[in-house]
Amino acid sequence: MPWQFPLVLNVLITYVANPIAIKKSVGLPGRTPRLVLMFFGNATLAGIFLALFPQGFAWDAQMLMAAGVGVANSFACYAHWRAADISLSRTSVLAQGDDMIALALGYLILRETQYVDWLIGLGIFLCMGSAIVMSLSKRPKDEAGKTPRAFIGWVVLYVTLWGVAVFSLRYFGINGMSVPAFLFAWYGGSFVGSLAVAALMGKKEREGALTKRGLLWVLALCATSLTGLGVSYWAKVLAPITVVQPILQAAETILPTLIGLFLFKEAKEFGWRGKFLFAAGFAGSLVLLFAYH
């Protein structure tokens, strides 16, 4: 099976369907209960998947490591929800940080440097340069009174945690961990972590009745996050992270940003400087997208 097939599936699920579900749901009441429900649903589905395809499953140190990464994932997911609630388009541009961390770990630990050339470097420079300048730009408060500093704090938290988590997909993949075993460990850990998030974030984040609409979006998030992670892991089993991740970085920058700007009408938040930085980020993403043959 060519590695491009799961990669295309990953792009469609993770960077088109999932961002829409996130933006539609993150501002609804009962944010942390919905986080717990989502990861409970994911862990349950992953458990069923593992029961159907148990080959290679074992309670070993690798499973515990994957579960630990899953705990970190729950905190990163919550931070991403908080950032996306403020601005999906800005979150998408700044989200390149987790790709950079994953790539750096791929270079340093897995020694996958043979796939890197000057064109990749140019694309990364344009993407990261625009993201850094945008992050330092002054932003007005949003309708709920959230400050730019809080927004950047949520972004820094989730890109750091997800950078390590994304790298772990390649690490576990090349060490022979099966997709069902990985998903079960990851989402089992994420469910446990989500309980800690709900406890730490306090009563305000738990307030509000879970509406039928909110539960439907939880189901959408379960489906898109579980299948998206599964095909992402599959792609990283088949191809080096230094090949796969820059392409995903381009998709992560372009597609959710367009969704935020036009579907959710966030374009009005930006002046000419912001639009220029978006254009620079898009240019870098396109370079990365076409850098591999």
Q: Find tokens 């340069």 and name the residue.
A: 129
Q: 67 and 172 in contact (C-beta within 8 Å)?
A: no
Written as six digits, the tokens of 60 are 């070993």
Write down the pLDDT at residue 135: 53
Q: Comparing 19-28, 113-122, 253-262, which segment has the lowest mean pLDDT?
A: 113-122
Written as six digits, the tokens of 27 are 């501002």
Q: 154 and 82 in contact (C-beta within 8 Å)?
A: yes
Write down the pLDDT at residue 76: 94
The residue-averaged pLDDT of 202-218 equals 80
Instruction: Please provide the average confidence, as pLDDT, over all residues in the chain.
Output: 79
Question: Residue 147's pLDDT band (boundaries 50, 70, 90)?
Answer: very low
In angstroms, the CA 56 to CA 176 distance is: 8
Write down the pLDDT at residue 43: 95
Numbers of helices and strands, H then E, in the chain: 13, 0
Question: Residue 257's pLDDT band (boundaries 50, 70, 90)?
Answer: low
Cα Rg, the chain, nearest whole Å? 18
Written as six digits, the tokens of 66 are 């994957």
Residues spanned by the domain of 113: 4-289
Please compute, for residue 193, the number of CA atoms within 13 A of its CA located in the half-sphere on the CB side. 24
Contacts of 18 (CB under 8 A, 6+ apart): 221, 224, 225, 228
In angstroms, the CA 7 to CA 289 distance is: 12
pLDDT digits (tens, 9 = 90+) for 76-125: 999 988 888 877 767 766 666 676 787 778 777 776 666 556 666 676 66
Domain total of the chain: 1
Amino acid code (one letter) for 204: K
**What is the sign of the dihedral through the CA atoms of 214, 218, 224 and 228?**
positive
Query: Is 125 or 144 the better-scoring residue by pLDDT?
Result: 125
Q: Which of 15, 59, 11 is nearest to 3 (CA)?
A: 11
Q: 159 and 78 in contact (C-beta within 8 Å)?
A: no
In angstroms, the CA 26 to CA 62 distance is: 32
The structure's pTM equals 0.75
Written as six digits, the tokens of 260 are 């935020």
Is 278's pLDDT higher than 70? no
In angstroms, the CA 150 to CA 83 distance is: 9
Q: Find tokens 């897995």 and name the residue.
A: 110
Q: Find tokens 């370079």 and name the residue.
A: 287
